[in-house]
Amino acid sequence: MDMQEMFQRSRYDAGLSQQKVADLMKVSKSTVQNWENGTSVPTFDKIIEWFKVLGVPMYPYLMKLAYPKELADVSADSDIAELRKGLNKLVDELDDFHAKELFFLLSGTHGSSPTGNMDLSAAYLHLPLANRVIIAENILANYEMMEALGQIHNTQHVLPATQTLKRSIDTARTAAMAGKNSYIEE
């Protein structure tokens, strides 16, 4: 995927016209067309704004831009060898904290089934964003209460980044209230 395709595909995935994106970003339609045809490249701030306006997650598009060979055609429908290769690339790009967090989720050392956790996450992610916000707020409130009461289990393992979670919930709530079904963490 190149930059042009990233802009075209993400806008298409969001279901927005060039004119609508231009209006939302307060730029001309020709500016959006120039970004999509490669005549010009927006600033990094404008790229972030692009994805916020579209309401689609930026990360998958940027990963495909950064690793076009490894991730170009990888999706959940890919053959298992390509899927594993793409998954390995995504895991390799995790920072240390999130690598530890992923290991904790998949290792089973928390007493829950790793596949059950993945199934639960998949079911959660298929819910409308407004429902996901309510569930996340509930989980965070329960976590903070149990933490205050000293009743958190597995404290020897990586603990969640609650400030990041709060920011994600706030961003998701704003997006859900705007009628969107996805959000981008600021």
70 within some domain:
no
160 within domain boundaries: yes
Domain membership flag for residue 85: no
Domain end position, chosen among 15, 40, 56:
56
Distance (Å, whole) CA 63 – CA 89: 9
Higher pLDDT, 62 or 45: 45
Question: Would you say residue 71 lies in a domain?
Answer: no
Q: Is residue 97 part of a domain?
A: no
Q: How confident is the model at residue 185 (pLDDT cuts 50, 70, 90)?
A: very low
Boundaries of domain holding 20: 3-56
Measured in degrees and rounded to the nearest 5, phi and psi for residue 106 equal -95, -10
Instruction: Record the tokens describing residue 116, joined without a space.
Output: 């059950």
Lowest mean pLDDT among 37-46, 53-62, 122-131: 53-62
Between 65 and 170, where is the model more confident?
170
Task: Find out whether 57 and 47 touch, Cβ atoms under 8 Å.
Answer: no
Tokens linked to 1:
């995927």
* Residue 65 falls inside a structural domain: no
pLDDT given at position 79: 87
Return the closest-CA partner of residue 83 out of 70, 96, 65.
70
Kindly state whether residue 45 falls inside one of the protein's structural domains. yes
Positive or negative: CA dihedral 135, 141, 147, 149: negative
Q: Is residue 182 part of a domain?
A: no
3-state SS, residue 22: helix
Does position 36 have pLDDT exceeding 90, yes or no?
A: yes
d(CA 89, CA 144): 33
Domain CATH number, residue 13? 1.10.260.40
Which residue in the block uniquely carries the two structure tokens 């004119």? 19
Last residue of a domain, one of 56, 80, 95: 56
Domain count, the chain: 2
Question: How is residue 42 annotated by DSSP?
Answer: -
Provide the pLDDT confidence category of residue 186 given band limits of 50, 70 and 90. Answer: very low
- Among 41, 56, 71, the domain-final residue is 56
Give the C-alpha separation, 31 to 19, whole Å: 10
